[in-house]
Chains A and B, each alone.
With several copies, the nearest count.
Chain A
Amino acid sequence: QYERLIFEKKDYTRTGVDFADIDIMPSDLGDLVRGDDLGLPGLAEPEAMRHYVRLSQKNHAIDLALYPLGSCTMKHNPRLNEKMARLEGIGDIHPLQPASTVQGALELMDTLAHWLKTLTGMPAVALSPKAGAHGELCGLLAIKAAHEAKGQGHRRTVLVPSSAHGTNPATAAFVGYSVREIAQTADGRVDLADLKSKITDDVAAIMLTNPNTCGLFERDIVDIAKLIHDAGAYFYCDGANFNAIVGRVRPGDLGVDAMHINLHKTFSTPHGGGGPGAGPVVLSEALAAYAPTPWVVSTGNGYALEEFGEEASAANFGRMCAFHGQMGMYVRALTYMLSHGSDGLRQVAEDAVLNANYIKASLQDIMSVPFPDGPCMHEALFDDKWLEGTQVTTLDFAKAMIDEGFHPMTMYFPLVVHGAMLIEPTETESKAELDRFIDTLRALAATALATKNNADEVARFKNAPHLAPTRRLDETKAARQPKLTYG
């Protein structure tokens, strides 16, 4: 199972790409020419193919089994999306071709924008952010710009619930805000009283995930929005969980001013081992003018790309990246949207919520649920109370799942729940696969509970996984003695 690193052979003479011989010497570059040895090995094509195919088989993937990473949303990635992204005229066009030669591409961006605006009930969208966290940055910069334009530059505080994604406080701090935490109620929602007490006149915005990271819909969301607006602040919604409500609830109807949409989560662009993402941000009327450059404009007889934002909106807060965003993700997301349509997207949310509640209902007699009352949304949250009295931890239980052929759920997040286990099945799981998962977890949970009476059996959990490509890895060593490159 050991797969050699490509560097271990220390043979730099080979290549897997054929180019014609070339003997021109770049004499005019003088000293600028690089020396001979770059330390970069080349593999013949058969060697490369094997290296990567073998490595790939060491990965879990949504195409192999359920991947119940709560708050990460791993759903089926249709291959039609991949095919569309590779079309001639899509995959091969350059961002700086004259606009007259990319009218279809601009139309595609405009169409995507139309779908996003319609689905969210928001009047504007900034497409260019390259990931969810980048979208948060975009939203907060728009809010900052809006406050500054209104002479409210003194507003330097952002409210963030304790259950928030780490990116929320990180982004707020990144742009110079101080972060004020909002407490959570016993039923897993924002504590309205605490919120009220923390709204001061230096508050710029609240950042709220809805459905929240406990998988629950914020029942008081409309009231929260009103409180925030009344205080002269903006409501930033972390749209990571938009997949739970798409087609059934429009964030614009809830009072949201800005929300990023993780295209990979809601609209199934592939995660690819951790990216690329795409995080378009929908904006309310109040913030629309501050959106970053560039944007697509319809000129009447076609589309143009407004690169500098001078004419239409000098209020824009700037540019978030070179060029105009993640076109490759736009086409995948739009393909997914067109495939589902308005009825299908609504069904997506319903089935996602149904699947999560089914898991919750099927496991809650054996695994403890921190917020048992009422339905959850797209993810079912468990804690580790049920493991009390055993030596098995959430981590041990998760690693033992690996031996059963399942990827663990999200662990220890949200932080507000002890030993959290956050399970998100998504709508693309069949009942048969959910039942297989439920049966497996019930059996594993029973085994874990049985370790109370049999200390020896604890080792099965402590030493898990046993059947994975590697045993449990020493993360402490990796951090203490960082080794990030070979040799």
Chain B
Amino acid sequence: MRYLPLNGADRAQMLATIGVKSVDDLFVDVPASARLTAPVNLPRYAGEMEVEAQIRAMAAKNLSPSRVPFFVGAGAYRHHVPSTVDHIIQRSEFLTSYTPYQPEIAQGTLQVLFEFQTQVARLTGMPVANASLYDGSTAAAEGVLMAQRITKRNKAVMSGGLHPHYTHTVETLAHAVGMETEALTPAVDAEAEVLKHIDKDTACVVVQTPNVFGTATDLTKIAAAAQAAGALLIVVVTEVMSLGLLKSPGEMGADIVAVEGQSIGVPLSFGGPYVGLFAAKEKYLRQMPGRLCGETVDADGERGFVLTLSTREQHIRRDKATSNICTNSGLCALAFSIHMSLLGQEGLKRVAKINYAKAHALKDQLAVIAGVDVLTPRFFNEFTVKLPKSAAEVVEALASKGILGGVPFTRLHKDEAFDNHLIIAVTETVSDTDMSAFVAALKEVL
């Protein structure tokens, strides 16, 4: 077996050194009733060719977005990632290293994390950021728990513009720790509504911009009002590319920012792994969950980086930790950081403008189709239309024509009132031809 370097002669020598007769003697502590005497009922080992054929056969049953006009978003986006990114993350020294517990031989990973944290802080307009969380949704949930720790209040209010998966994820975690949640009714232009639901128990309000319907909202006044009421403002961003064009959460007064970073550097990969960006005001630094990388000096006084403030973490604090998180999303954070450093603000702003322009071009083409009602008032690269029939059926009909035409809102949240709502994303990867094909096909299926 190609991954196992020992051969029979090695094993015999090693057993002799250990002083046992067979490898079975090393499993003596297993209760006899639980010892499997033969391999379980699964196929035997296979060569690369056979394995590759099996996986390829499954891949071939999927409709690849690389081959068709593609308008699916709603929390995960198809963007162009420079080939350099994937090349670098596959370097042995990045791919096959572990958490940087020995900083002297992990400065590669650590400097990248320090740069990543700085990029995230600047992108979100916040002073501090951590070394990444699992994804945007768990970052949002961790933000809510952090708000509880900070405010000692016990309720989270979530806007009707929050991605329903995020709402459900926050509910699951918040309820697990005994917090109350109030999820407001989904609405296209929903963020300001949270203010009406703040009371003295409200630890935080969670708003999203652009929200799940695509609506971009200036949160400046919401931030001020929430904070005046003693609640924290948690801003969720599921399309990080929007920060190249839209005002940052920090500028608008956010206390905590939870971002899905997938759009920069990370492949769609059917939903994961992604990378959660997490940033906060400096005063909340020690309440942040997850890993932090900090600058320090070595014995010669030279700059170096280490994981720090681990006294917040589970492996030191055990049942007193700020969170139970152990891993971050290191490799995705690396991918994000490389892509971000290639883009720079110049590239980011430019690609963001292209997203904006393409999405608005498609919106203009759809708006004139009879029966199609564009609902989103202001948006970046995604908007919602109300169709004259079930969005789910339309999407299936489009798929059968080889077009991946968006996300029916009911895919995320079951509610008949939204049966005809379709969320449409348009990124720089969409060509004019793709748009024409979409418009033509949509006309046919409506």
Contacts and interface: CB of A to CB of B under 8 A. Distances in A.
B74 to A, nearest CB: 6
Contacts of A48: 84, 338, 341-342
A42 B84 contact: no
A6 B48 contact: no
A482 B308 contact: yes
Given A90-B59, A217-B29, A344 B45 contact: yes
A271 interface: yes
Tell me which of A13, A55, A346, A377 has the highest count of chain B C-beta atoms within 10 A of its own C-beta: A55
Given A276-B272, A482-B309, A468 B104 contact: yes
Interface string A212-233: 0000111101100000000000
Given A17-B342, A249-B34, A322-B271, A350 B404 contact: no
A98 B393 CA distance: 10
Interface string A313-328: 0000111111111111
Contacts of B15: 354
Interface string A327-354: 1110100110111111111111011011
Interface stretch (A56-64, A280-288, A439-447): A56-64
B297 A477 contact: yes
A452 interface: no
A300 interface: no
Contacts of A292: 172
Interface in A1-59: 2-3, 5-7, 12-20, 22, 24, 26, 28-29, 31-35, 37-49, 51-53, 55-59
Nearest to A28: B378
B6 A431 contact: yes
B245 A34 contact: yes
Interface string A79-112: 1101111111111111111101111110110010
Interface stretch (A125-133, A193-201, A385-393): A125-133
B55 A322 contact: no
A248 B35 contact: yes
Contact of A42 (B34, B268, B269, B341): B341
B39 A343 contact: yes
Given A34-B245, A219-B29, A248-B27, A274 B99 contact: yes
A184 interface: no
A38 B247 CA distance: 10
Nearest to A23: B353
B196 interface: no
Interface residues of A, number: 208
Interface in B24-62: 25-31, 33-36, 39-48, 50-52, 54-62
Main secondary structure of the interface of A (DSSP, over half): loop
Contacts of A407: 102, 105
Interface in A406-427: 407-408, 413, 427
A460 interface: no
Q: How large is the interface on B (under 10, 10 to 19, 20 to 34, 35 or more residues)?
A: 35 or more
A95 to B, nearest CB: 3
Interface stretch (B197-205, B227-235, B287-295, B437-445): B287-295
B134 A53 contact: no
A119 B35 contact: no
B299 A463 contact: yes
Nearest to A270: B95
Contact of B343 (A17, A144, A170, A320): A17
Contacts of A317: 172
Contacts of B260: 322
A152 interface: no
B367 interface: no
B296 to A, nearest CB: 4
A249 B30 contact: yes
Nearest to B130: A484
Contact of B104 (A105, A174, A427, A465): A465
B299 A472 contact: yes
Nearest to A52: B88
B138 interface: yes
A2 B111 CA distance: 11
B246 interface: yes
A339 B56 contact: no
A69 interface: yes
B87 A326 contact: no
B4 A469 contact: no
A278 B3 CA distance: 22
A472 B329 CA distance: 26
B136 interface: yes
B78 interface: yes
Interface string B345-363: 1111111011011001000
Given A59-B93, A478-B295, A245 B30 contact: yes
A483 interface: yes
B18 A361 contact: yes
Contact of A59 (B74, B108, B285): B108
Nearest to A110: B58
Interface string B84-97: 10111111111111
B316 to A, nearest CB: 7
Given A317-B172, A344-B4, A59 B58 contact: no
Interface in A344-388: 344-348, 350-351, 353-355, 357-358, 360-362, 374-375, 377
B103 to A, nearest CB: 5
Contact of A273 (B75, B216, B334): B334
B223 to A, nearest CB: 14
28 contacts: A29-B378, A34-B246, A39-B345, A57-B108, A58-B106, A60-B105, A78-B84, A80-B84, A86-B86, A93-B63, A94-B404, A100-B400, A107-B61, A118-B40, A166-B314, A170-B314, A170-B324, A174-B323, A219-B29, A273-B99, A273-B112, A322-B271, A329-B273, A344-B4, A348-B4, A357-B20, A469-B107, A485-B114
